[in-house]
């Protein structure tokens, strides 16, 4: 029994072994088939990749061809539009050419007409030239007649002018300047100051001038006039006044000269000496060949006196040409407010003047302090300040103002002189 069971088991074992071997063989065959399929699959994938790359390349080529096709279409359309535009331009040029041809024909016609007109004008010009020559001869003849007539009229006018001058001289005032024109030119403020402060100097100069003309109101020349003339000025002026008037072709009574020498001796003395200066200046200009003009009668406030001449006298070129007079206290610009400021608070005016001098780079008072230097130090010693401010501002206006004259004006009439100089600054700023 055990043997039969063992035989059965061995038989089954062999059978199982055979089946196992068959299974191994089948498994091996399956592996080989799988390897072949795997290899085939790889080759298929490779072919697919190659096919996809070829498809992509063909797609890109197709897109490129489409782009080129579109570009060609666009370029073709552009060329077509350019061709149409060129055709239009050609048509336009043809029309312009036709118009130019017509214009040229019209211009040729106008040129022919202008040539005919020019020939007519030339003939007319020749006729006008003959007529102008005839008129020129007539004009020359009339010119000669007019010249002769003008000479006659000029001669008659000269005679009338001489008669008028003689009549004017005969009826003109004895003196060229008024009695109260203390600061008139020539002489000005300096002569006025000498007449009041030291008349002996004027008496000496006047006596020396009269002695040179063989007129001797007082013996001794300059010294005699300085010493003896001062002893009795009315008596001296009683002789000197009529002598000077007679020298100028006028008449002055001795009684009137004595009265004026008594009541207003300084003014009358200044006027007499000013007349000698005017006569000397007139004689010098006449000898030099310059026309003799009436002297400027200017007072301290810049006005001229009435009476001597109907026309406006020319100013003396030696005068300091301030825009306003010294005594024009309320003149514009500035007016009454500037006058009050110079009297009540001159430090404000000196401050403004000092600031102006510093801005114009002119010599000023304490320039490091600016306007305050003029306000503080300028008001402490106004004559010293005006010695700089007056000439500086005068030079800015193209005039000349001496430091001595500025100092004298600042001492004698400080408010008036300060206002006059400040008005000049206001005028220059307004311009």
| pLDDT tens-digit map of 79-126 | 888 888 888 999 999 999 999 999 999 999 999 999 998 898 989 889
pLDDT > 60? residue 314: no
**Low-confidence winner among 146-155, 214-223, 406-415 (lowest mean pLDDT):** 214-223
Q: In the structure, what pLDDT confidence band is assigned to residue 312 with cuts at 50, 70 and 90?
A: very low
Among 316, 311, 319, 304, which Cα is nearest to 401's? 319
User: How high is the pLDDT of residue 296?
Assistant: 42
What are the structural domain ranges in the chain?
Answer: 63-172, 188-287, 335-430
Among 400, 425, 237, 240, which Cα is nearest to 334's? 425
User: How high is the pLDDT of residue 315?
Assistant: 40
Averaged confidence pLDDT in the chain: 78
User: How high is the pLDDT of residue 199?
Assistant: 79
Which residues, at least 6 apart from 272, have a Cβ–Cβ distance to it below 8 Å? 206, 237, 240, 241, 244
User: How high is the pLDDT of residue 295?
Assistant: 43
243-248: average pLDDT: 80
- Of 238 and 104, the structure prediction assigns the larger pLDDT to 104
- Of 195 and 313, the structure prediction assigns the larger pLDDT to 195
State pLDDT tens for residues 175-194. 777 777 777 778 777 788 77
User: How high is the pLDDT of residue 213?
Assistant: 67
Which residues, at least 6 apart from 243, have a Cβ–Cβ distance to it below 8 Å? 210, 215, 217
State pLDDT tens for residues 385-422. 888 888 888 888 787 888 888 888 888 888 888 888 88
User: How high is the pLDDT of residue 244?
Assistant: 82
**Cα 320–chain centre separation:** 25
Q: In the structure, what pLDDT confidence band is assigned to residue 163 with cuts at 50, 70 and 90?
A: confident
Q: What's the pTM value of the predicted model, to 2 decimals?
A: 0.34
Which residues, at least 6 apart from 220, have a Cβ–Cβ distance to it below 8 Å? 207, 227, 228
Q: In the structure, what pLDDT confidence band is assigned to residue 431 with cuts at 50, 70 and 90?
A: low
User: How high is the pLDDT of residue 298?
Assistant: 40
334-358: average pLDDT: 84
Asked whether the bond before 271 is cis by omega within 30 degrees of 0, the reply is: no
pLDDT > 80? residue 16: yes
> Is the distance from CB of 242 to CB of 253 less than 8 angstroms?
yes
pLDDT > 70? residue 299: no
**Low-confidence winner among 77-91, 223-237, 377-391 (lowest mean pLDDT):** 223-237
């Amino acid at each position: 029994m055990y043997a039969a069971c063992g035989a059965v088991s061995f038989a089954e074992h062999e059978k199982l072994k055979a089946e196992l071997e068959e299974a191994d063989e089948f498994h091996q065959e399956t592996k080989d088939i799988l390897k072949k399929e795997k290899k085939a699959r790889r080759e298929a994938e490779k072919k697919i990749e190659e096919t996809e790359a070829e498809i992509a390349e063909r797609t890109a080529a197709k897109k490129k061809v489409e782009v080129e096709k579109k570009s060609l279409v666009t370029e073709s359309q552009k060329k077509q539009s350019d061709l149409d535009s060129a055709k239009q331009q050609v048509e336009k040029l043809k029309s312009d050419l036709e118009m130019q041809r017509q214009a040229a024909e019209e211009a040729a016609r106008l040129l022919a007409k202008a040539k005919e007109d020019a020939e007519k004008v030339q003939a007319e010009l020749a006729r006008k030239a003959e007529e102008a020559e005839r008129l020129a001869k007539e004009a020359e003849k009339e010119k000669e007649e007019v010249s002769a007539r003008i000479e006659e009229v000029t001669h008659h006018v000269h005679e009338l002018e001489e008669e008028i001058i003689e009549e004017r001289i005969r009826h003109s005032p004895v003196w060229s300047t008024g009695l109260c024109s203390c600061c008139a030119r020539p002489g000005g403020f300096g002569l006025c100051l000498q007449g009041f402060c030291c008349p002996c100097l004027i008496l000496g100069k006047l006596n020396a001038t009269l002695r040179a003309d063989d007129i001797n109101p007082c013996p001794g020349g300059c010294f005699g006039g300085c010493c003896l003339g001062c002893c009795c000025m009315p008596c001296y002026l009683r002789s000197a006044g009529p002598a000077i008037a007679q020298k100028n072709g006028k008449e002055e009574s001795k009684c009137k000269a004595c009265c004026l020498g008594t009541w207003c001796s300084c003014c009358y003395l200044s006027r007499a000496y000013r007349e000698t200066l005017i006569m000397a200046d007139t004689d010098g200009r006449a000898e030099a060949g310059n026309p003799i003009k009436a002297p400027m009668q200017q007072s301290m406030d810049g006005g001229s006196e009435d009476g001597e001449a109907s026309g406006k006298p020319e100013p003396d070129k030696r005068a300091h040409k301030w825009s306003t007079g010294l005594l024009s206290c309320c003149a514009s610009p500035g007016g009454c407010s500037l006058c009050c400021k110079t009297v009540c608070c001159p430090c404000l005016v000196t401050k403004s003047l000092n600031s102006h001098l510093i801005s114009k780079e002119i010599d000023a008072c304490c320039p490091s302090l600016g306007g305050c230097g003029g306000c503080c130090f300028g008001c402490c010693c106004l004559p010293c300040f005006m010695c700089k401010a007056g000439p500086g501002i005068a030079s800015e206006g193209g005039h000349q103002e001496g430091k001595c004259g500025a100092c004298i004006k600042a001492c004698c009439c400080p408010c008036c002189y300060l206002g006059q100089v400040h008005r000049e600054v206001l005028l220059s700023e307004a311009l």
